[in-house]
Amino acid sequence: MKIGILSRNANLYSTRRLVEAATLKGHEAHVIDHLRCNIEIEQNGPALYYGDNYLTGFDAIIPRIGASVTFYGTAVVRQFEMMNVFSVVGSRGIVHSRDKLRCLQVLSKEGIGLPKTVFTNYSKNVKHVVESAGGAPVVLKLLEGTQGLGVVLAENENAAQSVLEAFNGLRARVIVQEFIKEAKGADIRAFIVDGEVVGAMKRQGKPGEFRSNLHRGGTSQMIELSTEEKYTAILAAKAVGLGVAGVDLLQSERGPLVLEVNSSPGLEGIEKATGVDIAGKILSYIERNVKR
């Protein structure tokens, strides 16, 4: 098969692993910088122009779309879909996952466990907003933030109200979310491929840090999920519409709570923590779904 890996950097760990996995399985892998694609729309059919040639003959694509280029990246994915090319991550699923508010609304509709969340149109009654999220401490998150950036823990009522007022003054869109104390600065990343948990790791924030992101100095270790945690992660990925996803969970007294569903989860942390060939699992997913 001819497989396109949409990535802006061929040297990234995830991109390299996907190329390796495709090659090992006898497929032809091409790394495509989606920002350098021209989208051509006409009556005779959709087309993509890249470099000095048209992109033709592809059987499948693996999108690795960064959050900062979601709009154009999803447009390129959508164009491939219009050209009847199988995508392991659909354009609609990417859009759903990148809009934190929309994603939480979709998950809520499916009855999936979530931290209590409040979003307003810059309400001046910040006291009520904080109380509605369960009261301090609360977590405030920029809707556009990634990898732990734009996430603030307000430990008391005055701090929570002051930070929210500051964000409102800057016209920054934020959600106010319940703080799950019993999680103790740790979360779980469950990696989903084709409706199955293929690997899971527990990430622990460094001392004094409530964010567990590995990019911020957190550590990780392999974890065996409970039946409820597996079910929640799989249901979350399905609800958002993602065949491949990283679902972040918190362990709480009332069961697993979904923090986020990631449409371009990194492979390095999960492969090193679990020893599982996640890239190979993704290629097997393509093989099961592409008829030649």
Per-residue pLDDT tens over the stretch 62-107: 999 998 899 999 999 999 999 999 999 999 999 999 988 999 999 9
d(Cα 263, Cα 93) in Å, to the nearest integer? 7
For the 117-179 domain, the top CATH level (class) is alpha beta
CB half-sphere exposure, 25, CA atoms < 13 A: 22
d(Cα 31, Cα 99) in Å, to the nearest integer? 26
pLDDT band for position 214 (cuts 50, 70, 90): low
Q: What is the pLDDT of residue 23?
A: 97
CB half-sphere exposure, 35, CA atoms < 13 A: 10
d(Cα 123, Cα 92) in Å, to the nearest integer? 30
Q: What is the pLDDT of residue 147?
A: 57
Q: What is the pLDDT of residue 213?
A: 56
For the chain, what are the domain ranges?
Answer: 2-89+285-289, 97-112+183-276, 117-179
pLDDT band for position 114 (cuts 50, 70, 90): very high
Portion of the chain with pLDDT greater than 90, in percent: 78
218/193: higher pLDDT: 193
Portion of the chain with pLDDT greater than 70, in percent: 93
Residue type, 170: L
Cα 57 to chain centroid, rounded: 28
Cβ pair 127, 105 in contact under 8 A: no
Q: Say whether pLDDT at 228 is over 90.
A: yes
Cα–Cα separations (whole angstroms), residue 24 to 62, 124, 149, 175, 268: 16, 58, 36, 44, 18
pLDDT band for position 183 (cuts 50, 70, 90): confident
Per-residue pLDDT tens over the stretch 240-267: 999 999 999 999 999 999 999 999 999 9
Cβ pair 281, 265 in contact under 8 A: no
Q: Which CATH architecture has domain 97-112+183-276?
A: 2-Layer Sandwich (3.30)
pLDDT band for position 185 (cuts 50, 70, 90): confident
Per-residue pLDDT tens over the stretch 143-152: 875 655 678 8
Q: Which CATH architecture has domain 2-89+285-289?
A: 3-Layer(aba) Sandwich (3.40)
Q: What is the pLDDT of residue 142?
A: 87
Cα 11 to chain centroid, rounded: 21
Q: Which residues contact 261 (CB under 8 A, 6 or more apart)?
A: 96, 97, 103, 107, 236, 237, 240, 242, 245, 246, 247, 248
Q: What is the pLDDT of residue 151?
A: 87
